[in-house]
Amino acid sequence: MDATSPRAYLTERGDQVGGLAQTGDIYFVASKASAPTVSKATEAVESAATEPDVSDTVTVVLRNEGGAMEGHTPRGFRGMGTGLFVGDNLNPGFPNGDGVQLFLTFDLSEVPAGLVLSAVLRSDNVEVQGTPFLDLGAVNAEELRYERFSSALWDSAPLPGGATCVFATRVDGPFSCDLTGAVQRSLADAYPSAQFRLRSDRAGDGDGRPDIVMFFISNSNTNQPGIFELEVTVGKP
C-alpha cells in the first residue's frame, strides 16, 4: 500500500528561557545588608559537586533498522506498505476516514550495560500533507514487540505497561519524545530490540482528504536506516 502522490509539502501552520554603608569618612561593610562573600573557586567546586559527571555516562545514537522490520499498516483492516506514514486517507483507494500507523525497530546490541538514564526517539526527516495535527490530534509513540513486520500488526496491542509518549503536536515540531522505560525494559528482559508504533490520536476525520505525516529521506514510499534516531544515555555500572 503506497502513497500515490510524490513528495508532499508543508501546508499546515503551527503556532509554535553586599552593600556599603557610609558614616562620616569611614566606610565599612554593613553586616546585615551584605551576603557572605563566596570566592569564584568555591562556587566552581560547589557547582561541580551538583552536576552529573559526564565521564560516568555513555551515549549512543541508534538508527532505525529500516527494511523488512518496518513499515505501515492501516488501522481499520489488514494490509501493509513500506513507507513510514501516520495519518488518514493515504490514497484515493483508501477507505474514507481510516488511518495508517507506522512501526519502528531499533537494534540495542550497541547499548552498554548500565542504568538507562534517557532514551529519546526523534526524526528530522518529516514532511506533512494536509492538516493532521488539527484534524487527527497528536502523534503518539507506544512500546510494543513483534518478531517481524507484517500486515498482522494492524490491530496489535501495545506492550502491557509499556512506555508511551507524545511524539509531535505541531507541524513545525519538535518530532521527539522520551522512551527511556522501553529501552530499559528490553535490556532487562534480554530482548534484542526497542520497537515502537506511531499513530495519531484519531484514526481519521472522514473528510475524504489526506492528512499525513510522512517520514522519509529520499522516497516517501520506502523506509531506510536513519529516518529515525534513538539517542540512549546509560550510566556506567
Domain range summary for the chain, segments of one domain joined by +: 20-50, 54-235
pLDDT at 20: 31
- Partnered with residue 122 across adjacent β-strands are 176, 229
**Cell numbers representing residue 224 in the block:** 531506510
Query: 3-class DSSP state for residue 130?
Result: coil
Q: What is the pLDDT of residues 170-193, one digit of tens each?
A: 999 999 999 999 999 999 999 999
Question: What average pLDDT does the structure give for the chain?
Answer: 83
**CB-based contact 81:155 (threshold 8 Å):** no
Please, which pLDDT band fits residue 40 given cuts at 50, 70 and 90?
very low
pLDDT at 91: 82
Mean pLDDT for the stretch of residues 74-88: 95
Distance between CA atoms of residues 9 and 5, nearest Å = 11
Closest CA to 163 of 175, 181, 145: 181
pLDDT at 28: 32
Q: Is the pTM of this model over 0.95?
A: no
Lowest average pLDDT, out of 23-37, 114-128, 144-158, goes to 23-37
